[in-house]
Structure 1
Amino acid sequence: MTAEAAGTFRRTQIERSDQRVAWERTDQAFFAAGACHVLAWVCREFYADRSIEMAAVRFAGERQVFHVYAVWDGWAFDHSGWHPEPQLLAVNTEFEGRPLERVKITVSLAEFCEEHHSRMPNQYWRDPLPRAREYVSRYIPPWA
């Protein structure tokens, strides 16, 4: 699987307003747009023996991030699986058609959600954590 831009899976207005409709999207769409931050933190938890960091992208000069992913030794994990981080950044930049900035995330999931108006796992229609764990397990990490 090649890296895909998160924007390819942007939620529709009904998906943004109805949690059940958002939940019923494919796993990739769900974790690309709307629950990418949950997937990233689950990836770090899943591979607790690795020094996995959190990162995000935003439009250059803006404060709000629009996609979160996990990073390990130059590799990024998101809805597309494991890819070299420059590739993930390039496909998102190309899709968006404007400059992006990488942001290192150094706060907890709760702090991130508060700062960026994102949902905590208990605020979804159903618990996304088991779904995210199963999704992470589908992909072979670069160190395997």
Structure 2
Amino acid sequence: MVVTASGVFRRTAIERADQRVSWERTDRAFFSSGACHVLAWVCRDFYPEQGIGLAALYLGDFEHPLHVYARWSAWAFDASGWNLESELLQVNSEFEGLPVREVETISSDLREFCEKHVHRQPHQYWADPTERARAYVARYDPPWL
């Protein structure tokens, strides 16, 4: 699958206001914008032997990250599947028209990250997206196979 900027799937006003409407989007849209952080943590936990890290992408002057993804070597995993991290950064920067300010390695747990960056924890969604994320990760062959 070709890497696509997360902003392509940005939630509409009704999707932001109604968690069920947001939940009913396609998996790719849901995990691109609104639950990318949940997908990243699930990906890391899905392959515990691989040493997968987590990264937060900051563009321009935004206080909070635009996108969160899992990373392994030169690869990144998000709703577009496994792609080169450099391509993921480039398409997001180009789509938003903003330079990459920082790619932060995330060392906190999911709860701490959500509290710091005003993201929903899994139990705060219309339904817990953890199993949905596991099924999504399982669809994509990792680059080490």
TM above 0.5, yes or no, is yes
Q: Which residue of 1 aligns with 2:9?
A: 9
TM-score, L = length of structure 2:
0.97
Q: Letter of the 1:54 partner, please give it.
A: L
In the TM superposition, 1:88-107 aligns within 5 A as: 88-101=88-101, 102-107=103-108
Q: Which residue of 2 aligns with 1:20?
A: 20
Q: Which residue of 1 aligns with 2:30?
A: 30
Q: CA deviation at 1:56?
A: 1.4
Structure 2, unaligned runs of 5 or more = none
Q: Which residue of 1 aligns with 2:80?
A: 80
TM-score, L = length of structure 1:
0.97
Q: CA deviation at 1:122?
A: 0.5
Q: Alignment partner of 2:114: what SS?
A: helix
1:108-132 CA deviation, whole Å, 9 max, x = no partner? 1000000000000001101101100
For 1:67 and 1:133, how far apart are their aligned partners in 2? 19
1:85-137 CA deviation, whole Å, 9 max, x = no partner? 00100010110111123121111100000000000000110110110000000
The sequence identity of aligned pairs, in percent, is: 58
Structure 1, unaligned runs of 5 or more = none
How many residue pairs match? The answer is: 144
Q: Letter of the 2:25 partner, please give it.
A: R
Q: Which residue of 2 aligns with 1:140?
A: 141
Q: CA deviation at 1:74?
A: 1.1
> After TM superposition, what 4+ stretches of structure 1 lie above 4 angstroms from structure 2?
none
Name the stretch that deviates more: 56-65 or 91-100.
56-65
For 1:112 and 1:46, how far apart are their aligned partners in 2? 19
1:2-44 CA deviation, whole Å, 9 max, x = no partner? 1000000000011001000000000000000000000000000
Q: Letter of the 1:109 partner, please give it.
A: L
Q: Which residue of 2 aligns with 1:39?
A: 39
Q: CA deviation at 1:62?
A: 3.2
